């Protein structure tokens, strides 16, 4: 029961895996349009990861997951399984990419807007991204782990949104899911301190309505019980001696690569 501190070599390996995961999101962006099916998105990502990146799509066969990426549309919270359904104008979709390169995992996801999206849906997407960034800004050595969730929950509450509790961020490295669990809400008992060399994801799922989830019979897909919208963004983050480094940062993000120098 302990959080691993990554060596300099591990960190270099994680930088590479995380950069590849981020590049998959950049690559797939122009394809996310009305009319494409989520299994076509899965196929394009799979082929890019395997044939161009010479990496492994971590979800494929992970605990029986049948596809290479997760696609979560509208009221789907997370772990949506790519399938034959076409995206339509007004949809919001999370694409979650995890690649394994030289034994290291890089994990990141973002929301895409399909065509003209209603203002309330766009706001949920924007606020969820802001909440993730506010969580990331809490990361520095000596900070309590639960400050991340506190910052995320505070931001979501301002808009009367709710934070999903059943799924959380996670340590990551040679394993897909390592300690610690990174909750996206404030848990007073979670007062362990961050140390330089820890690597974990921050991946808040925020609901437009109530926080409660319902699992579909496929055993993977989590949806909102009230069928209102849900959004999620995810980055893999390294604790540095002075703050943090977002290992899965994309070029489009003006958000700083490091905080506090
Ligand atoms: N990428 C997801 C995460 O952020 C996990 C997906 S597990 C899968 O932790 F099996 F559904 F792919
Ligand atoms: Co993750
Ligand atoms: Co992920």
If you average pLDDT over residues 215-237, what whole number do you get? 98
94 C-alpha to ligand 2 centroid (Å)? 13
Q: Which run of H or E residues covers position 163?
A: strand 162-163
Query: What is the rounded average pLDDT of the residues 22-48?
Result: 98
3-state SS, 225-244, equals CCCCCEEECEEEEEECCCCE
Q: Is pLDDT at 247 greater than 80 in this prediction?
A: yes
CATH for 8-243? 3.90.230.10
Q: Which CA distances in Å does 9 have to 102, 104, 198? A: 12, 11, 13
Give the number of C-alpha atoms closer than 13 A to the C-alpha of residue 38, restricted to the C-beta side. Answer: 25
Distance CA 65, CA 221 (A): 10
The pLDDT, as a whole number, for residue 259 is 46
Say if ligand 1 is within 6 A of residue 79 CB. Answer: yes
pLDDT recorded at residue 260 = 38
Instruction: Give mean pLDDT, residues 39-60.
Output: 99
pLDDT value of position 1: 61
Reply yes or no on whether the pLDDT at 200 is more than 50: yes
Q: Against a cut of 0.85, is the pTM above it? A: yes
Q: What integer pLDDT is reported at residue 53 of this predicted model?
A: 99
For 67-98, what is each residue's pLDDT tens digit? Answer: 999 999 999 999 999 999 999 999 999 999 99
**Among the bound ligands, the one closest to the CA of 202:** 2
Query: What's the pLDDT tens digit per position in 184-196?
Result: 999 999 999 999 9
Return the pLDDT at 13. 99
Pairing of strands 205-207, 199-202: unpaired
In 3D space, the residue among 260, 234, 210 whose CA is nearest the CA of residue 132 turns out to be 234
Distance 233 CA to ligand 2 centre (A): 10
Q: Give residue 256's pLDDT.
A: 56
Cα 129 to ligand 1 centre (Å): 18
**What value does the mean pLDDT take over residues 102-113?**
98
Residues annotated within a binding site: 79, 96, 107, 170, 177, 203, 234
Q: Determine the atom of ligand 1 nearest the C-alpha atom of 220.
A: 11
What would the mean pLDDT of 132-161 be, rounded to a whole number? 98
First to last CA, the chain: 31
What confidence category does residue 254 fall into, taking pLDDT thresholds of 50, 70 and 90? Answer: confident
């Amino acid at each position: 029961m302990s959080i691993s501190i990554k060596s300099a070599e591990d960190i270099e390996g994680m930088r590479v895996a995380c950069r590849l995961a981020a590049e998959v999101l950049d690559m797939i962006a122009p394809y996310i349009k009305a009319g494409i099916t989520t299994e076509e998105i899965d196929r394009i990502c799979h082929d890019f990861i395997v044939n161009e990146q010479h990496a492994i799509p971590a979800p494929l066969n992970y605990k029986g997951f049948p596809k290479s990426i997760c696609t979560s549309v509208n009221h789907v919270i997370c772990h949506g399984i790519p399938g034959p359904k076409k995206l339509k104008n007004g949809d919001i979709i999370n694409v979650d990419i995890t690649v394994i390169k030289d034994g290291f995992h890089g994990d990141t996801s973002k929301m895409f807007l399909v065509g003209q999206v209603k203002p309330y849906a766009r706001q949920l997407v924007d606020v969820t991204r802001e909440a993730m960034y506010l969580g990331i800004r809490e990361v520095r050595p000596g900070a309590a782990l639960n400050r991340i969730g506190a910052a995320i929950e505070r931001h979501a509450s301002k808009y009367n949104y709710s934070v999903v509790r059943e799924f959380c961020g996670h340590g990551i490295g040679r394993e897909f899911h390592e300690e610690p669990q990174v909750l996206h809400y404030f848990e007073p008992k979670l007062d362990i301190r961050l140390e330089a060399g820890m690597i974990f994801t921050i991946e808040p799922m925020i609901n437009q309505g109530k926080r409660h989830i319902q699992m579909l019979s496929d055993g993977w897909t989590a949806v909102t019980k009230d069928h209102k919208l849900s959004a999620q963004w995810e980055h893999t983050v390294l604790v540095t001696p002075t703050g943090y480094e977002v290992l899965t940062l994309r070029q489009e993000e003006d958000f700083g690569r490091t905080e506090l120098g």
